[in-house]
Structure 1
Amino acid sequence: LIDVIFFLLATFVLFTLSLNKSNGVSVQLPTAESSEPRDPNGTVTISVTDEGALAWNTDLITLDEFLQRLQTYHREEPEGRILINGDERAYFAQAIYVFDEARKAGFLKVYIETHVR
């Protein structure tokens, strides 16, 4: 009976953790005490790697492709959400560029993903 309860608990914990995964490439997120979990559904994840490369969800893209996709996404989803998923070793200027371009494109819901400290 204890084994069954432990199995159910472990399954629940793993399932719950999988709900908060973003759609971006794998990066080492910075930590923050005020971090809040975000629902990745209906959200485009823009990842900034430690080398400064950009990814749209899981597709590596150039700066020009980023701007084109941003405009297309805004036309298709004017109320869409952008989640910036930046590696903690990434160039800060690159993450700010992504944030700034998303705001200039008209997105009001732009978030920066962090890991809870």
Structure 2
Amino acid sequence: MPIQLSGNSSGDDHGDEARIEVVPLIDIMFFLLASFMMVSLSMTQLNRVPINLPEASTGVADTKAPPFQIAVDPNGVITWDSKIITLSEITTRLQKEAAPSETRVLISADAESRHKVVLDVLNAVRAAGIEKVSFESKATKP
């Protein structure tokens, strides 16, 4: 039964019925959805260690994000999800969390990092049985 807005409660008068406008509610929901999407997109790279990537002219862009990303800074400190980690912890963690046949790992090393540290990280990843390993670089400027 619709709500009567007039003072007459006898039911004779068919005055204005109260109703909820749906179009403004839909507009508000789309605005909130768009706002949350923009905020979530801006937060995607916040948990990353700042490193200076080396340039590569023959690199191929990879559109799929790897599930595991390991970074090496110029001082040789190895981080995973912005937490410092050791080489043995890399192997142990990958063995626990990853399926060796389909897991991909991305190693992001600073241009000034030592080659030996990067190879040690690669060996730790391979010791866990992971074969799909990529190195992050930035494109050469024309």
Taking structure 2 as the reference length, the TM-score comes to 0.59
Greater helix fraction, Structure 1 or Structure 2: 1
Taking structure 1 as the reference length, the TM-score comes to 0.70
User: Per-residue displacement from partner, 1:68-108 (whole Å, max 9, x unpaired)?
Assistant: 21222235x65111000000100110101111221221112
Alpha-carbon separation, structure 1, partners of 2:69 and 2:97: 12
Identify which of 49, 66, 70 aligns with 1:46: 70
Counterpart residue number, 2:32: none
User: Per-residue displacement from partner, 1:34-66 (whole Å, max 9, x unpaired)?
Assistant: 122224534211101100001113222233322
Alpha carbons of 1:24 and 1:45: their partners in 2 closer, same or farther (altered >3 Å)? farther
Counterpart residue number, 2:124: 101
Q: Give the structure, 1 or 2, with the largest relative contact order (CA under 8 Å, sep 6 or more).
A: 1
Q: Indicate the structure (1 or 2) with the bigger Cα radius of gyration.
A: 2
Identity %: 30
Alpha-carbon separation, structure 1, partners of 2:77 and 2:104: 21
Indicate conservation of the 8 Å contact 1:24/1:46, yes or no: no
Alpha carbons of 1:104 and 1:62: their partners in 2 closer, same or farther (altered >3 Å)? closer
Count of aligned positions: 98
Moved over 4 A (4+): none
Alpha carbons of 1:53 and 1:106: their partners in 2 closer, same or farther (altered >3 Å)? same
Greater strand fraction, Structure 1 or Structure 2: 1
Alpha-carbon separation, structure 2, partners of 1:39 and 1:59: 25
